[in-house]
Amino acid sequence: MRETILVLDFGSQYTQLIARRTRELRVHSEIKPFSTPLDRIKQAKPKAIILSGGPASVWDEGSPKLAPEAFGLGIPILGICYGMQITVHQLGGKIERSQRREFGPANLRVIDKSDLLSGIPDDEVWMSHSDRVLELPPGFELIAESENSPNAAVRCLNLGIYCTQFHPEVIHTKYGKEILSNFIFKIAKCKGSWTPKSFVETKIKDIKEKVGESRVICGLSGGVDSAVAAVIISRAILDRLHCIFVDTGLLRLNEAKEVVESFRNMGLNLIHIDARDRFLRNLEGVSDPERKRKIIGREFIGVFEEKSSKINGAEFLAQGTLYPDVIESVSVKGPSATIKSHHNVGGLPEKMNLKLIEPLRELFKDEVREVGSELGVPIEILNRHPFPGPGLAIRIIGEIDEKTVSTLQHADHIFIEEIRQAGLYDDIWQAFCVFLPCRTVGVMGDERTYENVIALRAVTSLDGMTASWARIPYELLEITSVRIINEVAGVNRVVYDVSTKPPSTIEWE
């Protein structure tokens, strides 16, 4: 049976980080709310439980608590920050209420190196708390201290409970990973067999069982999630997977051709639908961004349904749903939840009467890349910048026609080419051009010109929720501007967008 670590979430901003750290150590983890009932905890048969931090004080009315019996299950527990305080509080120790916050680095002095802190030198750890532990519950002992938190790390050998006031999951705790590793391997006795390879093997088996002899339909966008989902399903059921790729005409330059070629090279059974005219026709005269999104979503579903209804024996629709979309958690939902909320094909499954198959729903984005790499998905697909469902339609401000799409595609191609040339593509979250519907005066040779403006947008971000404009070199801006104005007909001015998100958004519409 697969080893799992249950991360019980008390609302910390770091909860997902804890889950990711255990996975980096090759042990699968699942995040569940702190209020998960005891029988569900037992059912999950976790090798260990980690209690996250959280914003509450144990003294708050209705403060979040763990089912008390969970402390006596004999399953090793690691309580972090609030997870430590609630453990101490529930087991009869004393927590001192404090308004003063200890935030930032602290020096840890290790007292006992026999298990959790084995091999850990005295070094910096990351603190972020107000309340602190004053008295330990019976059976607990001190294993490390810091100046402001005399009880920085404690344990109860009888119950197999370990607690840290600091956060081992954040990188500022220099030996945090080693501490988690001690907990997972030395204390919880995990083996660490959850690798991309083992994930792929198990998934292929699951998909075979689930799908049986029937067929699966998968919409390919060219993005990483749908690509990896499709490849893993095709490994299980071969050409009973039918991939549908809709060319809306609103993709990047040459992208449709490249997507079709690379997926066919990977052996996928691919239906390529050229719907460029249909999309352009329906978007004619439309300038409002939300109407554009709605029209594109509606047409996409239309095209997709028409084609898929002709595939006999299809019972399943594949989707590239990721873990942050489905975590049952008390903290804020992950970034992709927000990105998906305005995804234009969200209505697909309800309308189509197909069962869903979501092979990536246990994975974080970087894990999808690892799995994709294990499956031999080309690196250009795995590392491609995110691209919005409505495509270039929301990067052409105002009305759209074939000519503006083509102008934008060419400008965009130059910008991306120059970014790649400068070796900066992977450092940037997203880079693209925007077509502005205004004309400005210029001079070329002896001639006065009156032509369009292209805006360059390049941002750095961790998750697309917030973003800064990328500090790309002036030389890169210069060569991009010169090339766009010289090579793209109808453009005589290039500007660089220096707005952060918030208050701006990444896309202009």
Could you list the active site residues? 81, 167, 169
Least distance from C-beta 326 to ligand XMP, angstroms?
Answer: 17
Which of 26, 342 has the CB closer to ligand XMP? 342
Site membership for ligand XMP, residue 386 (CB under 6 A): yes
* Footprint of ligand XMP on 403-432 (CB under 6 A): 430
The verdict on 388 binding ligand XMP (CB under 6 A) reads yes
Nearest distance in Å: CB 322, ligand XMP: 13
Q: Applying CB under 6 A, does 365 fall inside the site for ligand XMP?
A: no
The binder of ligand XMP chosen from 360, 389, 452, 488 (CB under 6 A): 389
Contact between 464 and ligand XMP by CB under 6 A: the answer reads yes
Q: Interface with ligand XMP by CB under 6 A: which range of 228-236, 269-277, 338-346, 354-362? A: 338-346
**Is 207:237 a contact under the CB 8 Å cutoff?**
yes
468 sits near ligand XMP (criterion: CB under 6 A): no
Q: How far apart are CA 442 and CA 464, in angstroms?
A: 35
Give least dist CB 499 to ligand XMP, A: 11
506 interacts with ligand XMP by CB under 6 A: yes
Examine residue 497 and tell whether it contacts ligand XMP (CB under 6 A).
no
Instruction: Write out the two tokens for 462.
Output: 């961790």
Is residue 342 near ligand XMP by the rule CB under 6 A?
Answer: yes
342 vs 439, which CB is nearer to ligand XMP?
342
Please identify, using beta-carbon distances, which residue of 65 and 342 lies nearer to ligand XMP.
342
Q: Which stretch binds ligand XMP (CB under 6 A): 195-203, 266-274, 387-395, 484-492?
A: 387-395
Beta carbons within 8 Å of 389's beta carbon, 6+ residues apart: 221, 293, 296, 297, 300, 343, 344, 345
Q: Which of the stretches 193-201, 254-262, 335-343, 371-379 binds ligand XMP when contact is defined by CB under 6 A?
A: 335-343
> Exposed e or buried b for every residue in 376-412, given b needs 16+ CB within 10 A?
ebbeebbebbebbbbbbbbbbbeebeeebbbbbbbbb
Cα–Cα distances (Å) from 246 to 363, 365, 413, 445, in that order, read: 26, 24, 21, 43
Nearest to 137 by CA among 188, 181, 84: 84
Over the Cα atoms of the chain, what is R_g?
27
Minimum CB separation from ligand XMP for residue 393, in Å? Answer: 9
Q: Is 33 in the site for ligand XMP (CB under 6 A)?
A: no
CB of 508 to ligand XMP, least distance (A): 8
Instruction: For 388-456, give the DSSP string.
Output: -TTGGGGGB-S---HHHHHHHHHHHHHHHHHHHHTT-GGG-SEEEEEEEEEEEEEEETTEEEEEEEEEE
Q: Nearest-CA neighbor of 453 among 434, 430, 476?
A: 434
Instruction: Give one word for 361, left, alpha or beta, with left for phi > 0 and alpha for psi -120 to 50.
Output: alpha
Angstrom distance (rounded) from CA 486 to CA 464:
32
Does 223 participate in binding ligand XMP (rule CB under 6 A)? Answer: no
Nearer to ligand XMP, 365 or 501 (CB): 501
How many residues bind ligand XMP (CB under 6 A)? The answer is 15
Q: Which stretch binds ligand XMP (CB under 6 A): 41-49, 151-159, 271-279, 498-506?
A: 498-506
**DSSP string over 231-296:** HHHHHHHGGGEEEEEEE-S-SSTTHHHHHHHHHHHTT--EEEEE-HHHHHHHHTT---HHHHHHHH
**Cβ-contact 433, 416 below 8 angstroms:** no
Neighbours of 73 (CB within 10 A): 16
**Given candidates 128, 165, 344, 492, which one binds ligand XMP under the rule CB under 6 A?**
344
As a whole number of angstroms, the distance between CA 278 and CA 412 comes to 23
Does 339 engage in binding with ligand XMP (CB under 6 A)?
yes
Q: Does 390 bind ligand XMP (CB under 6 A)?
A: yes
Q: Which stretch binds ligand XMP (CB under 6 A): 256-264, 325-333, 337-345, 366-374?
A: 337-345
Print the binding letters for residues 227-266 with ligand XMP: x by CB under 6 A, - otherwise.
----------------------------------------
Angle (CA) 236-261-234 rounded to 5° is: 5
* 193-205 b/e (C-beta count within 10 Å ≥ 16 → b): ebebeebbeebbe
| Contact call for residue 507 and ligand XMP (CB under 6 A) | yes
Dist. CA 263–CA 28, nearest whole Å: 30
For 2, the 3-state DSSP assignment is coil
Q: Contact between 358 and ligand XMP (CB under 6 A)?
A: no
Q: Shortest gap between Cβ of 331 and ligand XMP (angstroms)?
A: 20
463 binds ligand XMP (CB under 6 A): no
Q: From the CB of 68, what's the least distance to ligand XMP, in Å?
A: 42
Binding ligand XMP by CB under 6 A: which of 65, 113, 210, 343?
343
Q: What residues between 276 and 295 interact with ligand XMP by CB under 6 A? A: 293
Q: C-beta of 432: minimal distance to ligand XMP in Å?
A: 8
| Least separation in angstroms between CB 276 and ligand XMP | 19
- Of 243, 306, 258, 255, the residue nearest 278 (C-alpha): 306
Which string of b and e fits 336-355 if b means at least 16 CB within 10 Å? beebbeebbbeebeeebebe
Terminal CA-CA length for the chain = 48
* Span interacting with ligand XMP, options 44-52, 85-93, 146-154, 336-344, rule CB under 6 A: 336-344
Residues that bind ligand XMP (CB under 6 A): 293, 339, 342-344, 386, 388-390, 430, 464, 501, 505-507
